[in-house]
Chains A and B, each alone.
Chain A
Amino acid sequence: MNRELHYDAVVIGAGVAGLVAATRLAQGGARVCVLARGVGSTHLAPGTVDVLGYAPDAVREPGPALEQLAASQPGHPYALVGAGVVADALDWFVATVQAGPLPGYGYVGGGLELGGRYPSALGALRPSALVPVTMAAGEAQQLGRLCIVGTPALRDFHPSLCAANLAAAGIDARAVPVELELDRADANTLGVARRFDDPGWRARFCARLAPLLGGEDHVGLPAMLGLRDPFGALADVEQRLGRRVFEIPTLPPSVPGMRLYEILSSALRAAGGRLVLGAEVVSGRWSGGRVEAVVTRAAGHDRVYAAPWFVLASGGFASGAIELDSHWTARERILGLPLRGVPPAGEPRFVPEYASEQPLARAGVAVGGDLRAEGADNVLVCGAALPGAAPWREHSGEGIALASAFRVAQVVGELAGSPAEATA
């Protein structure tokens, strides 16, 4: 016995990119296993699908802007996957959420045609191509008079700050603090979301809030409208308050992000894919220019997963999959794959202005046009591990994750089906 298992494809990482790549591969008939050190970035992100918000000016029509970006930046992930794949990936995503475990819950918005802008917890307007239906009524163009509701118990959401910044942007917004009986000192939106699953609690919440409302036609709440049936909770609260209601993304834990994880991991299960959580991949077993197997740290001993194809969806600097050591050397930690976009030795990695374009920001695993890693013929890369993008400036993170994951599964299908690879 050698603690080794064989799959058709092994995916490293359980964020949006990893779960989507694995689901697509499994839907194509492959036996797929996802290996992840822990839960991925879904729980930390707003739960929106941001495709292209700034390029570098504010983008109104993501589709054409994306084609322009691809033409001017050939190393950008969108240039590698192509605009058509982005559109297909978004369509698949919308359909997958709709068929998922949360009744009525879906993603809506202008997509590639017309990007919407939705209030953030700070009262800025964030551009997103698609948002959960629970956020839809917050689209800035449709907002009339608005009140932002918060509760002092939620220390990371300040309705007056949010409303003041929205007012400065020309939106008629007012803050309404409401007292909630939360029996713990460390209340967060997740705790409240679990209460919102209970219709009785929702009714009491609305009864307490309703008298505080004035002539506003819209009510913005921190994103906490429940985990089990957020669509039902939204409809219930809108009906009780007689106003359009929408969620505003919060600091982690992200309730909409948790819903997204539930939806995507459920799609993976339905397609027959496996998820091994807690299994940190620590190294690869190489044979020439191919990875034969990867090694995970399981309890007591290492466990080996062999496959003809590997998908690296491990994230970038934020997840720790790419790291910069104290000698200012950047490396991909799992397989030691070559990076692209790292400034040459002696050049600055960072510049003092935090919000500026940082020299290291676009570093990632070097890939060819088919997203195969340089130096590893059977390793494909997707999501935040890709070079050439600055998602937090572009507001493009989920768009890149979805489209590159979608493309990776296509490429594996094409290569696995080709005679040259079949005999390799």
Chain B
Amino acid sequence: MTDLLELAEHESPRGSLDHCVKCTICETACPVSNVTPLFPGPKYAGPQAERYRVGGEPSVDASVDYCSGCGICTQVCPQGVKIAELNARARDALKRDRGVPVRDRIITRPTALGRLGTPAAGLANFALGLRPARIAAEKLLGVHRDAPMPRFAGRRFSRWARGRTSPATGRRAVYFHGCGTEYYEPETGEQVVAVLEHNGFEVVVPSQDCCGLPLQSSGLFDDARRTVLRLARALDGALGGDPDTVIVGNATSCTLMLKREAREILGLEDDPVLKRVSERVYDICELLLELHDRGELRTDFQPVHETVAYHAPCQQQGHFIGKPALELLALVPGLEVRELTARCCGIAGTYGLKAEKYEIAMAVGRELFGQIEGSGAGSVACDSETCRWQITHGTGRPSAHPIEYLHRAYGL
């Protein structure tokens, strides 16, 4: 029994800290500690500080709140230490200890915000574009006046989806569209559905809400658990017992939340529904590349004579599947693709919206923005919506999900 308990501990984020050999590879890759001393770096805040964190005792370190949760440290660690996951848990403990700002209770609820903003999209977008309103929001709430804000589409993706039926083909995909698609970029969702249907999928769109990632990354774990489990049940219900049905999403940070983060960070390893769902989830580009590998992706692409820069966001990299979008974009004739190597745009979901972190986020993004400006590309492809908003904010260049380029090349 002791052995089993030890083994479980060994595999958990906390257990992994003993694999740390202090090699500093995480420090070399951390985008935040590279631009600010406010975060002492993943090694210090992660495996080193973790030894001093004792359950039930006051939190020892406020600096962990400056970790953006991008997860790059975990990805580059050659010893398998779950550094970002340790930091996320420490942040939750910190928030429980010292309280959560009102702002973090608001901006972490995209479903509620979307429902409020969508019916009054014109007014909401107008207000978000008003300097005095943004200054007031910064002073009252702590949302930085210059932070990139999406515009409400004024319509919901799910309304469009409900009004149509995907032809039955015998190959089903449950579409997890996420809040960004639902309230801000419904056209991306329509493109996903069109590309999937073009490739022979019957697309099912169940009623769904937020995955809880914003709550989790701000250290609101109890709310995050409730939210992700509600989503998991909604998606599980749509699987309908068919073992070949996949769940596919275009919001790469939200698919990662379902695949891994909710289980590892929120401690939901044992929830059977979440486990079933997480094993079925595909990122859209991951699914299409696998289809191509099987010789089943349609390649009736028309030439697209453009140069596009591709940024694989940190959360996409957290899937540990490489950069499938790069290989897909390379299939489009005429499309020149420039791979960007800077790791992070800085925004990290809601991190870069926060008044005290906005400048840090922009400093993190500077390397990427410079690469984009030097790439000669007219637009930027990127798998995460908040990263796209930040990229456009930082460079003035349009950005889109990689699926947009495929959709265009298919001529759909």
Residues in chain A within 8 A of chain B (CB atoms): 1, 3-6, 33, 36-41, 43-44, 183-186, 188, 190, 194, 252-253, 258, 266, 269, 274-280, 296-301, 303, 319-320
Q: Are A300 and B37 in contact (CB under 8 A)?
A: no
Q: Are A39 and B78 in contact (CB under 8 A)?
A: yes
Q: Are B37 and A37 in contact (CB under 8 A)?
A: no
Among A5, A38, A40, residue most surrounded by chain B Cβ atoms (within 10 Å): A38
Q: Are B317 and A277 in contact (CB under 8 A)?
A: yes
**A262 to chain B: closest CB distance in Å?**
8
Chain A contacts of B244 at CB under 8 A?
1
Q: Are A44 and B37 in contact (CB under 8 A)?
A: no
Chain B contacts of A186 at CB under 8 A?
40-41, 44
Q: Are A38 and B79 in contact (CB under 8 A)?
A: yes
Task: List 20 contacting pairs A-B, 8 Å CB cutoff, sorted by A.
Answer: A1-B287, A3-B290, A38-B25, A39-B76, A43-B23, A185-B40, A188-B24, A190-B28, A252-B24, A253-B24, A266-B341, A277-B76, A277-B317, A280-B320, A299-B319, A300-B259, A301-B259, A301-B278, A319-B78, A320-B79
Determine the distance from Cα of A184 to Cα of B37 in the docked complex, in whole angstroms.
6
Q: Is there a chain A Cβ closer than 8 Å to B200's Cβ? A: no
How many residues does chain B have at the interface if contact means C-beta atoms less than 8 Å apart? 45
Determine the distance from Cα of A301 to Cα of B260 in the docked complex, in whole angstroms.
9
Contact of A37 among B40, B80, B326 (CB under 8 A): B80
Q: Are A5 and B37 in contact (CB under 8 A)?
A: no
Name 8 extra pairs, CB < 8 A, besides A300-B263, A303-B320. Answer: A4-B293, A5-B289, A39-B78, A186-B41, A188-B24, A252-B23, A296-B320, A298-B321
Chain B contacts of A269 at CB under 8 A?
339, 341
Chain B contacts of A319 at CB under 8 A?
78
Chain B contacts of A300 at CB under 8 A?
258-260, 263, 278-279, 281
Among residues 69 to 125 in chain B, which have CB atoms less than 8 Å away from a CB atom of chain A? Answer: 74-80
Chain B contacts of A298 at CB under 8 A?
319-321
Chain B contacts of A266 at CB under 8 A?
341
Chain B contacts of A299 at CB under 8 A?
256, 259-260, 318-321
**B275 to chain A: closest CB distance in Å?**
9
Q: Are A5 and B28 in contact (CB under 8 A)?
A: no
Q: Are B27 and A253 in contact (CB under 8 A)?
A: yes
Q: Are A5 and B259 in contact (CB under 8 A)?
A: no
Contact of B75 among A4, A38, A303 (CB under 8 A): A38
**Identity of the chain A residue whose Cβ is nearest the Cβ of B283 in the assembled complex:** A299
**B200 to chain A: closest CB distance in Å?**
12
**Identity of the chain A residue whose Cβ is nearest the Cβ of B330 in the assembled complex:** A272
Q: Are A1 and B29 in contact (CB under 8 A)?
A: no
**Identity of the chain A residue whose Cβ is nearest the Cβ of B339 in the assembled complex:** A269
**Identity of the chain A residue whose Cβ is nearest the Cβ of B43 in the assembled complex:** A186
Q: Are A258 and B260 in contact (CB under 8 A)?
A: no
Q: Are A258 and B28 in contact (CB under 8 A)?
A: yes
Q: Is there a chain A Cβ closer than 8 Å to B323's Cβ? A: yes
Contact of A188 among B27, B76, B263, B281 (CB under 8 A): B27
Q: Is there a chain A Cβ closer than 8 Å to B282's Cβ? A: yes
Q: Are B25 and A278 in contact (CB under 8 A)?
A: no
Query: Provided the pairs A183-B37, A276-B320, A279-B322 are in contact, do residues A5 and B290 lie with their beta carbons within 8 angstroms?
Result: yes
Determine the distance from Cα of A388 to Cα of B377 in the docked complex, in whole angstroms.
50
